[in-house]
Structure 1
Amino acid sequence: MSDLLNITLIFASAPRTVHETSLELPTGVTVAQALQQSGWLSRFPEIKDQDLALGVWGRKAHGHTPLRDGDRVEIYRDLRVDPKVARRERFVGQGARGAGLFTRRRPGSKSGY
């Protein structure tokens, strides 16, 4: 077993802007230590200032969460719009006919297919 872990850090600092870094860190490192050693806390001060959410492979994590080899640490920004509100607004804009999963059907097909 190797004494180094391969860790990937992911952060979307703005829409359509994703930063990704791969690190080799010693065994037993935590999420907070990985961020510190990567230099991202000084490069992106909003991570610490805004107390952004952290995750490992899409699951919520804390700074004291230990990392394993191959983990992907993700830093999440706050949502600017509630997804439910955005969906309702899109539905109002489209109208009832243009919304839904099965709006485009092939001629002669059963409904729902």
Structure 2
Amino acid sequence: MADMIEVEVAYALPEKQKILTVEVEEGTTMLDAVKASGIEQEFPELDLAEAKFGIFGKATRTPETDVLRAGDRVEIYRPLIIDPKQARANRAAKAAR
């Protein structure tokens, strides 16, 4: 029997956040852990094919091959509504008024 590890899967909307703990086999990829967590049932609008992923705030480009370690927290990122540079410029312009 393969060794099991515990990881977390996190996703947040402005009005709802969820962190699910899931036990997976050692060698499990990020994407497989996300699917095993059942987070899609909590957030039916979540499209894993289009989502961006990271571990503890560090984005990854290959969630289908990145292997998790015990204690990792997989984060699923929402698409940006506005470019961060533009948001800062808007805030600066507003403050200058």
* TM-score of the superposed pair, with normalisation by structure 1: 0.72
- 1:89 corresponds in structure 2 to 90
Secondary structure in structure 2 of the residue aligned to 1:47: coil
- 1:74 corresponds in structure 2 to 75
Equivalent pairs, count? 94
Question: Structure 2 unaligned runs (5+)?
Answer: none
Secondary structure in structure 2 of the residue aligned to 1:5: strand
Tell me which stretches of 4 or more aligned residues in structure 1 moved more than 6 Å: none
Aligned-pair Cα RMSD in Å:
2.1
Structure with higher Rg: it is 1
- 2:64 corresponds in structure 1 to 63
Q: Please list the CA deviations of residues 16-75 of structure 1 after superposition, one character each: whole Å capped at 9, or x if unmatched.
A: 421111111111111111112111234434332661101112222222211111101000
Which protein, 1 or 2, shows the higher relative CO under an 8 Å CA cutoff with sep ≥ 6? 2
